[in-house]
Structure 1
Amino acid sequence: MIPHDFIKKWQGTKLKERAAAQEHFIDLCRLLGEPTPAETDPTGLDYGFEVGATKTTGGRGFADVFKRGCFGWEYKGTHANLDTAFAQIQRYAVALDNPPLLIVSDIGTTIRIHTNWTNSVSKTYEIPIAALEDADQRDLLKLAFTDPEALRPAKSRQELTEEVAGEFAALATSLREKGHAPEQVAHFINRLVFCMFAEDVDLLPSKLFTRMIERGLDDPSEFETFARSLFLAMKSGGLVGFERVAWFNGGLFNDDLAFSLTKDELKIVHRAAVQYWGDIDPSILGTLFERGLDPEKRSQLGAHYTDREKIMMIVGPTIIEPLAAEWSATRSVIEGLMKKAELADAAAKTTRGRSGSRKQGAATTAINAAQAALDAFLKRLSNFRVLDPACGSGNFLYVALRELKDLEHRAQVEAEALGLPRGFPQIGPEVVRGIEINPYAAELARVSVWIGEIQWMLKNGFAASSNPILKPLETIECRDALLSLSQDGEWSPAEWPEANAIIGNPPFLGSKFLRNGKPATRNRPAVAGLGDEYVDRLFRVFEGKNPGSADFVSYWFALALRATSSTPKPIIGFVATKSIAKGATNKALDALVSEGEMELFWAVANTEWVVAGAEVRVSLVCLRPRMTGLGASLPLLNFRPVSAVNTDLTHGLTLARAHTMPSNKRRCFQGVKQNGTFETPATKARSLLLEPRNPNGLDNSLVVKRFYGNDDVSGRDQDGWIIDFTEYPKEEDAALFEKPFKAVEHVRTERSNRTKGKATESDKLKSHWLMQRPRPDLRSEIANLSRVIGVPETSEHFIFRFLPATGIYSGSLFIFPREDFTFFGICQSTTHVLWARLAGNNLGSGNQDRYNKGWTFETFPFPEGLTPDIPASSYAEDPRATAIATAANRLNELRENWLNPPDLVRREPEVVEGFPERILPVDDKAAEILKKRTLTNLYNQRPAWLDHAHKALDGAVASAYGWPADLSDDEILARLFALNQERTESQ
């Protein structure tokens, strides 16, 4: 068919939709050179007419035409209202798997293509029937059949939201600088935000808000009067000029508060207003605007945020998947009852008299039972309550609301397809509850939920609620989620409202940063502390319920335990620090399982997340009431089914119950904590060493020492130096080392800036020349040794290495006061590394292995007779010790030879005696080669010779335990755990 013939046949036709729609579409296929549905898919399931029509629904389907992966198409008669048609197909899009395009057309006038991608801004293409002689118009329409992706708008909803959030950050700063109260600035900007959204979804008429801004640009002095008039009308409904404004209120428009704006400020608002706010993304809207409105978070504006896909990792397993399973079971019941009704009805039609009447009654009874089953499920959904007790700006609440509404909508559509009448959506913002202490965030949470609710209704073909448009959201409370002050002035754990699901992303703050916060780093903004008063109160209220050494996030788990006393118990899903699986922070999670009778049914032990605008690694933890029997689905750990998830977020063998071995106590020490910069460049250190003796007659070598950190173990010698006055605690003695003492004067300023005028923790902090924690016990233990063994707290591989005993060690190292190869070999063996990896956790955005003297070393059972409390000299004649030492010596020799080949390095004495000799490259070419020779790189490559050396060591260690050398990793761990329990059974 040629364009002229198509236009002549169809333009302005008076034929009715049902009589002409299919013929119209077939002619269109001929015009575009596309195969018809019957030519492409004889089944009609992926491409066909009246998709979704059944005997019970008659000839009407979810769409007049459907092509999977391309479009759903709704026809109307000539000059019909296409907005009505669009709303109709929107209501059934979910039953069509949400095709990327929703197309509406009347028979003789217009074809309109609406994009339907979730994460892109929306766009509409309108093609008049009369314009189909234009090849460009036909090509555009053909893309809907062949390449709908070509019609996807380039801008994502996230990008749009980021753009408008950046504009309002500038406006907030400007208003704050004028002296306006922060809360009032936030409230005013939230009103502007909602007005722009309301205008673009036609809740405010005739571009009223944009026209108001444009009038203000002509005369800025009039803006405040205009805004107050608009807000007052939105408070209860009324007129603005000749335009009628609906009743909004909901607490957002409870008065006429507005500020005067300068022309530059109005330009900011206008730039934002001309964007299409109907496509704003509520899942990140609140987060971005909170950063813009809150000065403490403004530096995070351009940083990452948690997107919907991440939030669904909690909302999915805790809320939607269980409820979707319930709907699946309910739908099966309805399907069976409707089939029964259909059979009874057919039988009644072939039977006359009283028997037929009884069969007709059986059909009615079955239909009524099906309706009752649907009503019961819909009531279950509408009564379902979701609580986020650290809701921030509401992104978890918005996603939960959207998903619940989607499930209700799906149930209604699928029930309608089975023959039951469809009702209006009942789920609204009242199903979500939140607690948030920050007033900026709390109000933004309400705005995000309101916008999300209205967007959902319009996107799915329903009108937004009215009278008022915004219902009060008192369920999102602005208060402390952990502590509550009674009328008699007593503090107690906060009460949480009852909920069927408790979800969220509680604040991350390590136990050692609770009081004073965490300073900024290159990759992460500073995190404010809670202050002494609040922390002391927190410890008092939760004494005996949560350890004071636990991370802040654990308090939400402790309060979640209180919530498990309700009936029915809630499902719980939190984003937590990785330490939730270990140590003191794990106690609250462990109590939820043991005391709250909950079970971990879905967990990810270690995944990327965004916290305070920085990418970190976290654990995702979901718990449900303990389930038994056939209905209990297998738990998932790291997306894989397991028989059970342990509270340390492992499966199978868990080391959470491993006890400290008395033989290992005080055999491992952490390096120094400086609290200031005591390290000094190598050139300066050597200059100090070469200085003449001080007035006390002593050399600077007594206080200028080699310094060793992580990279000295896993990498190469960093030639680190430090000034250490630990042996000279009195200022008058330390000052006699004139130039070294002057070199650490800056520490006083550093500590002063860090404490911001607050009292320091101890007298040692006031003594600026002294490190905060110099580790005297470690110094005592290594005083008579020539070398020690060090292991980094975090590294890609657990690497143990000998270091000179004359040095000072960073707090990022754990040091063993041993110099024998037997101890070294046991620690470097696969046996110990397996235990350390399972007993420890991972740290930082780099997800590195973490060593810890408590969890990983002190619980580890060494071979009997070779335990750390036995000096090496005592087992010198033990053949087991000799075999391990021989293999370990060989491994160490090979590694050191690879690190520093004789042809690439030269060795020189240090500038003064008493220090290890220097290892230097022989020339520039050697220096480049040596840069890549680190133990981390070696273990990443793991050449065959290294593997053979480790196998020899592992064999010697296995023999020392009396075990075969070919045990699996699981068998090794099981035997080690049994040894731990056997040796500590009296603890």
Structure 2
Amino acid sequence: MALTPHAFIARWQNSPIKERAAAQPHFLDLCEMLGEPKPSDLDPTGKDYGFEVGANKTTGTPGFADVFKRGHFAWEYKGTGANLDDAFAQLQRYAVALDNPPLLIVSDIGTTIRIHTNWTNSVSKRYDIAIADLADPVKRGWLKSALYDPEALKPSKTRQQLTEEAAGEFAVLARSLRERGHDPEQVAHFINRLVFCMFAEDVKLLPEGLFTKMLERALDYPAEFEDFARDLFGAMTKGGRVGFEKVKWFNGGLFDGDLVFPLNRDEIQIVHRAASLFWGDVDPSILGTLFERGLDPDKRSQLGAHYTDRDKIMQIINPVIVEPLFAEWSAAKAQIEALMAKALETKGAPATKARNQAQLVLDQYLQRLADFRVLDPACGSGNFLYLALKALKDLEHRAQVEAETLGMPRRFPQIGPEVVHGIEINPYAAELARVSVWIGEIQWMLRNGFSATENPVLKPLDNIQCRDALMTWEVPGDGSEGRWIEAVWPEADAIVGNPPFLGGKLLRAELGDVQVGRLFTLYAGRVPAEADLVIYWLEKGLQAIDAGRTERVGFVATNSIRGGANRRVLDRIADGPGIVAAWADEPWTVEGAAVRVSMAVYGERRNGEDMRLDGHSVQRINSDLTSSAHDLTKAKRLRENLGVAFMGDTKGGAFDVPGDVARQWLALPLNPNGRGNSDVLRPWVNGLDLMRRPRDMWIIDFGWETDEGDAALYEVPYGHILAAVRPVRASNKREAYRRLWWRHVEPRQGMWKRLRPLHRFVVTPTVAKHRLFVWEASPTIPDHQLIAIARDDGTTFGILHSRFHELWALGLGTWLGVGNDPRYTPTTTFETFPFPKGLTPDIPAMNYADDPRATAITVAAERLNALRENWLNPADLVRREPEVVPGYPDRILPVDDAAAAVLKKRTLTNLYNQRPAWLDNAHRALDAAVAVAYGWPDDLTDDEVLTRLFALNQERAAQQDAAD
């Protein structure tokens, strides 16, 4: 007959039986009462469900837990009336050795069972069950869930939600204080103090309820809040008393000075509501970011957007810090095991010597961890620093626990915030980083069963410096004039971080000409002038490795580091210390916006360590963060392709006008010079016109030689740009752009020299989801976000639109934008591409008109183009209307409103998203014709295609080098 709850209570309530004798019978009776299988029923080995798990019978080391069920709980028993807080702290200290079970349960034999939740990303919760209350089905249900379904006890609120609530409350307070005219950074500093007081109260570093009582008193007497808070902060500065309550010594710089703002009753109420939350569970890895956004009025809507970054940060920290150090521990542990086994096998002096040698191995490893330093040279609000500190403390803790099971004595954790160093240019962010690290340190100690350090509670964190990470002002000691020099980073074993994302073209706008000029001077020859800002951090990381000042570096960077000027630093990294791990293309959040990033870890590989790309083991990692044997980063520009592909026209102002306006101007009487406006008006297209529907835009173009006097003779077009362009160009930083304001800033003379003789030419968008090529009729002007290819033959068009060129363009290009769309450039993707022999762009089309390969490609290409045009502009839905001036392409207009509605959805993007069978067949036919031109099979895999194209590129590059 099953044991009833009343029978269990009668048997065990207030039992005087000692812990060791009672623990197993007590648990077995619980299983019987709850109708749950006993450990031996489910796991006869006792490895995953059993008693005294982790006990070492040889050395006499006690187990990590009295009862353990993997993935469910660890359970520690004490005698009736024992201190369960001590039991819980003991269980916390060994949780890591039990794979951190979701529940930690402590119980004395006769009065109480406590279930503590232990999920990483949930707020903590405690379920208290008196032995006398086990007749209550709800409380028995808690226990049954612990044994069978721990998820049922998981708190619904995540640490993220808690942190967002807290940040949201303080966003309101910060806004109120700013609106009263207080300095934003002082507001931030004051709120950091309040935040830490609430955290300290909830983890019992302040006397219980002290801060909340102060707020409740201030709600009755708002005018006295300032004095109350000043008294509390003053006591925390050096240690002291508030009334009769003794306050620990905190400080660490956070409580220097007596900054306190007077608060009105509504503001005190905000703080009081925030204090009602349990701050002990606030997540340090996002605390800084959330509060930074809460305090910045431009970022209030972005609260919580960085939460997913925690796992991404660990993708960097694991290969840079955790995995190498854990490998060292594995080797040290093997030595300790062998030595302790030897000590057990011998006696006397040999045994003592073996134990001493084992202790030396352990001490050396623990000292290695204590001496290990991590630097984040763009630390922001401290996310990387906190998680790096936690990783090092976890490693130390695991080593101590595992060494203890081998019979080694255990000592108090040594690693603290001194092991993490940061550089941050913003003083508020630097303070946030310190607060995050402080809270993270204290949380770790308490959650792992240790008391927080004291005297002071907060050690000074001067190792998080507020300064520029790239340059510094040096004043020589000899009295000579100061100068800007490259900043020196602190020496560190590992460097990690997420440096600022700022594209090369935006440097001047964001940093100013003076700052950018200094950067270019200091890093000349190492970082290309057009590189993104993040590249400077990658370069300095490489420099630190080369100088022997660090072992390994890991950064999050823009995914554009894989190509163009950015890749030149990665080229040196790949050819030098080497890339150990990388993620080529990952989602990330910056300033609340979704972007794509690349992550790279570099440094010397250790003991045959695997290289990993996107989480998979690979034989090599190239500088473009691929693993193929054909390293496309080594592709050379081919002379036969030069001077054919061009970036389109950059207008630099509102030169564009709608088609109906242009036609009105074209129909005007001749100008005073006897010329019509058709001289300076031309159709204009950009990527939208290609990938969607043509917008019917025109552009005013005075070329690159017309002086202002001659331009003014075209009265209406000139008048338009006088009003719309000149005021904007007057403030341009480039003197030529200001002075020649009526001309486009970059009219691409070289492009027009090649395009003018052609009746049509090929264009492709610089950035687009699909790599598509389209014919444009002369004299249409392509925008700078288009690449114009000066060829009018179907053969070249067909080769470019084949899978061979598309694969090459994807392999050699970079990716931009939220959609992570591939980017095409004249230099890297066109000029490196090896066309079939005899069909290269330096050969006029007429020279291979009789080549059957060219004919086959042309036929397939023209058919593809015709089919596309028929789908885009069906004859029954459009009419073609000549332009008002001869020589321009016909207009394509819908026949009626119903046709216009259909045509609106007929875009190249939609077509290639759908990729109907007829389109796929047309491309297959084109691919087959191009494969014949190369003399290759048409069923090659993508990797085989790239291997052959790369070999062809290298062969031709070698031939042109030999010719030189």
TM range (shorter): over 0.9
Give the counterpart of 2:608 among 622, 625, 632.
632
Task: Give me the whole-angstrom Cα distance separating, in 2, the residues matched to 1:384 and 1:580.
Answer: 29
Task: Give me the whole-angstrom Cα distance separating, in 1, the residues matched to 2:659 and 2:246.
Answer: 76
Tell me if the contact between 2:472 and 2:487 (Cα under 8 Å) persists in the aligned partners: yes
Give the counterpart of 1:551 among 532, 535, 554.
532
AA in 2 matched with 1:244: K
Give the counterpart of 1:655 among 623, 632, 638.
632
Tell me if the contact between 1:284 and 1:306 (Cα under 8 Å) persists in the aligned partners: no
Give the counterpart of 2:20 among 11, 18, 22.
18
Quote the residue 1:265 is aligned against: 267
Sequence identity of aligned pairs in percent? 59
Q: 1:159 to 1:769 in 2, by over 3 A?
A: farther
TM-aligned CA deviation for residue 239 of structure 1: 0.4
Tell me if the contact between 1:593 and 1:599 (Cα under 8 Å) persists in the aligned partners: yes
Secondary structure of 2:632's partner?
A: coil
AA in 1 matched with 2:511: L
TM-aligned CA deviation for residue 557 of structure 1: 1.8
AA in 2 matched with 1:466: E
Give the counterpart of 1:916 among 862, 886, 889.
889
Task: Give me the whole-angstrom Cα distance separating, in 1, the residues matched to 2:561 and 2:448.
Answer: 40
Quote the residue 2:829 is aligned against: 856
Give the counterpart of 2:429 among 436, 441, 445.
441
AA in 2 matched with 1:58: G
Tell me if the contact between 1:56 and 1:417 (Cα under 8 Å) persists in the aligned partners: no
Task: Give me the whole-angstrom Cα distance separating, in 1, the residues matched to 2:273 and 2:98.
Answer: 37
AA in 1 matched with 2:586: T
AA in 2 matched with 1:976: L
Task: Give me the whole-angstrom Cα distance separating, in 1, the residues matched to 2:375 and 2:881.
Answer: 67
> 2:194 matched to 1:192?
yes
Tell me if the contact between 1:305 and 1:610 (Cα under 8 Å) persists in the aligned partners: no
Task: Give me the whole-angstrom Cα distance separating, in 1, the residues matched to 2:897 and 2:69.
Answer: 66
Tell me if the contact between 2:160 and 2:304 (Cα under 8 Å) persists in the aligned partners: no
Tell me if the contact between 1:661 and 1:983 (Cα under 8 Å) persists in the aligned partners: no
> 2:420 matched to 1:432?
yes
TM-aligned CA deviation for residue 301 of structure 1: 4.1
Q: 1:743 to 1:219 in 2, by over 3 A?
A: farther
Give the counterpart of 2:769 among 786, 796, 800.
796
Quote the residue 2:162 is aligned against: 160
> 2:623 matched to 1:642?
no
Task: Give me the whole-angstrom Cα distance separating, in 2, the residues matched to 1:602 and 1:745.
Answer: 55
Tell me if the contact between 2:233 and 2:255 (Cα under 8 Å) persists in the aligned partners: yes
Quote the residue 1:533 is aligned against: 514
Range moving further from structure 2, 187-196 or 290-299:
290-299
AA in 2 matched with 1:394: G
Task: Give me the whole-angstrom Cα distance separating, in 2, the residues matched to 1:899 and 1:748.
Answer: 35
Task: Give me the whole-angstrom Cα distance separating, in 1, the residues matched to 2:624 and 2:755.
Answer: 34
Instruction: Report the number of matched residues.
Output: 952
Give the counterpart of 1:710 among 687, 690, 699.
687
Task: Give me the whole-angstrom Cα distance separating, in 1, the residues matched to 2:271 and 2:663.
Answer: 61
Quote the residue 1:573 is aligned against: 554
Quote the residue 1:671 is aligned against: 648
Secondary structure of 2:106's partner?
A: strand
TM-aligned CA deviation for residue 776 of structure 1: 3.3
**Which residues of 2 match residues 837-856 of structure 1 at below 5 A?**
837-856=810-829
Quote the residue 1:983 is aligned against: 959
TM-aligned CA deviation for residue 751 of structure 1: 3.1
AA in 1 matched with 2:256: N
TM-aligned CA deviation for residue 937 of structure 1: 3.6
TM-aligned CA deviation for residue 443 of structure 1: 0.8
Q: 1:69 to 1:948 in 2, by over 3 A?
A: same
Q: 1:682 to 1:167 in 2, by over 3 A?
A: farther
**Which residues of 2 match residues 733-812 of structure 1 at below 5 A?**
733-734=710-711, 737=714, 739-741=716-718, 743-744=720-721, 747-748=724-725, 751=728, 760-765=733-738, 770-812=743-785
Give the counterpart of 1:513 among 493, 506, 511.
506
Quote the residue 1:816 is aligned against: 789
TM-aligned CA deviation for residue 778 of structure 1: 2.3
Q: 1:980 to 1:840 in 2, by over 3 A?
A: farther
Range moving further from structure 2, 20-29 or 907-916:
907-916
Quote the residue 1:355 is aligned against: none
Secondary structure of 1:514's partner?
A: helix
TM-aligned CA deviation for residue 702 of structure 1: 4.3
Tell me if the contact between 2:556 and 2:600 (Cα under 8 Å) persists in the aligned partners: yes
Task: Give me the whole-angstrom Cα distance separating, in 1, the residues matched to 2:304 and 2:887.
Answer: 52
TM-aligned CA deviation for residue 71 of structure 1: 1.1
TM-aligned CA deviation for residue 670 of structure 1: 1.2
Secondary structure of 2:496's partner?
A: strand
TM-aligned CA deviation for residue 56 of structure 1: 3.5
Tell me if the contact between 1:304 and 1:615 (Cα under 8 Å) persists in the aligned partners: no
Task: Give me the whole-angstrom Cα distance separating, in 1, the residues matched to 2:935 and 2:145.
Answer: 72
Residues 649-704 of structure 1: per-residue CA shift (max 9 Å, x gap)? 22211122222222322211112223344444455455555556666665544444
Quote the residue 2:374 is aligned against: 386
AA in 1 matched with 2:756: A
Tell me if the contact between 1:233 and 1:245 (Cα under 8 Å) persists in the aligned partners: yes
Give the counterpart of 2:846 among 868, 873, 881.
873
Range moving further from structure 2, 633-642 or 930-939:
930-939
AA in 2 matched with 1:960: A
Note the residue ranges of structure 1 that are not aligned, 5 or more in a row: 345-358, 517-528
Quote the residue 1:562 is aligned against: 543
Tell me if the contact between 2:778 and 2:888 (Cα under 8 Å) persists in the aligned partners: no
Quote the residue 2:457 is aligned against: 469
Residues 101-129 of structure 1: per-residue CA shift (max 9 Å, x gap)? 11111112121111111001111111222
Tell me if the contact between 2:580 and 2:604 (Cα under 8 Å) persists in the aligned partners: no
Task: Give me the whole-angstrom Cα distance separating, in 2, the residues matched to 1:533 and 1:153.
Answer: 54
Q: 1:542 to 1:298 in 2, by over 3 A?
A: farther
Tell me if the contact between 1:293 and 1:440 (Cα under 8 Å) persists in the aligned partners: no
Task: Give me the whole-angstrom Cα distance separating, in 2, the residues matched to 1:264 and 1:744.
Answer: 55
Range moving further from structure 2, 52-61 or 541-550:
52-61
Quote the residue 1:307 is aligned against: 309
Q: 1:169 to 1:736 in 2, by over 3 A?
A: farther
Quote the residue 1:610 is aligned against: 589
Tell me if the contact between 1:71 and 1:144 (Cα under 8 Å) persists in the aligned partners: yes
AA in 1 matched with 2:502: L
Quote the residue 1:320 is aligned against: 322
TM-aligned CA deviation for residue 40 of structure 1: 2.2
Give the counterpart of 1:452 among 440, 447, 465.
440
Quote the residue 2:361 is aligned against: 373
TM-aligned CA deviation for residue 197 of structure 1: 0.7
AA in 2 matched with 1:856: T
AA in 2 matched with 1:537: R
Task: Give me the whole-angstrom Cα distance separating, in 1, the residues matched to 2:722 and 2:124.
Answer: 61
Q: Cα RMSD between the aligned structures? A: 2.5
TM-aligned CA deviation for residue 10 of structure 1: 1.8
AA in 2 matched with 1:708: V
Range moving further from structure 2, 569-578 or 397-406:
569-578
Tell me if the contact between 1:600 and 1:622 (Cα under 8 Å) persists in the aligned partners: yes
Give the counterpart of 1:83 among 69, 82, 85.
85
AA in 2 matched with 1:918: R
AA in 2 matched with 1:803: E
Secondary structure of 1:656's partner?
A: helix
Tell me if the contact between 1:573 and 1:620 (Cα under 8 Å) persists in the aligned partners: yes
Secondary structure of 1:564's partner?
A: helix
Tell me if the contact between 2:77 and 2:107 (Cα under 8 Å) persists in the aligned partners: yes
AA in 2 matched with 1:433: H
Residues 480-534 of structure 1: per-residue CA shift (max 9 Å, x gap)? 1111221231221111111111111111111111010xxxxxxxxxxxx111111
Task: Give me the whole-angstrom Cα distance separating, in 1, the residues matched to 2:820 and 2:798.
Answer: 26
Q: 1:209 to 1:686 in 2, by over 3 A?
A: farther
Note the residue ranges of structure 2 that are not aligned, 5 or more in a row: 477-481
Task: Give me the whole-angstrom Cα distance separating, in 2, the residues matched to 1:738 and 1:271.
Answer: 67
Quote the residue 2:398 is aligned against: 410
AA in 1 matched with 2:500: P
TM-aligned CA deviation for residue 736 of structure 1: 5.4
Secondary structure of 1:620's partner?
A: strand
Residues 270-290 of structure 1: per-residue CA shift (max 9 Å, x gap)? 221111111111111111222
Tell me if the contact between 1:572 and 1:622 (Cα under 8 Å) persists in the aligned partners: yes
Range moving further from structure 2, 578-587 or 91-100:
578-587
Residues 824-864 of structure 1: per-residue CA shift (max 9 Å, x gap)? 12212222222211111222221112111111111222234
